[in-house]
């Protein structure tokens, strides 16, 4: 490559997700004619309507990543000073479970269930940081690590989270992982686990 030539890097985030985590990250339904055997697995939902920009509580469904591309269901972490960090090109999984005590009774089928508590939400986030200058995305990695090192509760801005986390519920970063990706020096996958956290006031009398 000549010195003055501009390098053009093309990447497919879907293929990168599959190479790192072993599955396709963007299972969007595509509108096709299902009568065509070649389109097996595609779904026809009829006429499209104007897309909704916000969910029922006013959180946005869309955002713009660092490379200027539109992303669906963006995740932003909010620092204590109110500044925000957009996690790049993410997919997320929310899970929760209850603590239930089951007590067997004599001469009765089944058990009596007593709900003790609802546990924290656990949010698994997988994403890909991409540098547009074909160098390692060290600034993005450093920014993510600094957020991890804060060790405090963070706000979470996300259309799905806005439906599940209530009131002043925040999140803490439980773990952060940066998997290796061979052959692409300007791409760094990351995986993090967030856990919901309530802010409590400790009153000492």
Topology of the domain comprising 52-197:
Elongation Factor Tu (Ef-tu); domain 3 (2.40.30)
State the Cα–Cα distance between residues 78 and 85, nearest whole angstrom.
7
Strands (E) in the chain, as ranges, are 62-64, 70-72, 75-78, 84-87, 91-95, 98-104, 111-118, 122-130, 155-157, 170-177, 187-197
**Series of mean pLDDT values for 10-residue runs along the chain (205 residues):** 48 76 58 48 64 92 87 93 94 91 85 84 93 89 95 93 90 94 87 85 56
Q: How far apart are CA 151 and CA 147, in angstroms?
A: 8
Q: Residue 91: name the closest of 176, 197, 192 by CA.
A: 192
Q: Sheet containing 91-95: which strands, arranged edge to edge? A: 91-95, 122-130, 187-197, 170-177
What is the domain partition of the chain in residue ranges? Answer: 52-197
CA-nearest of 128, 181, 131 to 19 is 181
Q: How confident is the model at residue 200, as a pLDDT?
A: 55
């Amino acid at each position: 490559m000549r010195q003055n030539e501009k390098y053009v890097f093309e990447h497919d985030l879907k293929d990168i997700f599959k190479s790192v985590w072993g599955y396709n990250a963007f299972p969007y339904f595509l509108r096709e004619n299902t009568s065509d055997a070649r389109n097996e697995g595609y779904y026809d939902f009829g006429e499209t309507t104007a897309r909704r920009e916000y969910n029922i509580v006013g959180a946005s469904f869309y955002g713009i990543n660092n490379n200027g591309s539109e992303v669906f269901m963006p995740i932003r972490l909010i620092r204590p000073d109110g500044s925000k960090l957009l996690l790049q090109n993410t997919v997320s999984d929310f899970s929760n479970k209850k603590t239930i005590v089951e007590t067997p009774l004599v001469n009765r089928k089944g058990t009596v269930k007593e709900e003790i508590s609802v546990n924290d939400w656990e949010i698994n986030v997988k994403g890909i940081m991409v540098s547009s200058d074909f160098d390692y995305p060290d600034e993005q990695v450093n920014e993510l690590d600094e957020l991890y090192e804060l060790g405090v509760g963070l706000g979470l801005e996300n259309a799905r989270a806005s439906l599940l986390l209530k009131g002043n519920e925040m999140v803490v970063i439980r773990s952060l992982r940066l998997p290796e990706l061979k052959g692409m020096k300007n791409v760094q996958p990351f995986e993090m686990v967030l856990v919901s956290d309530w802010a409590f006031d400790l009153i000492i009398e």
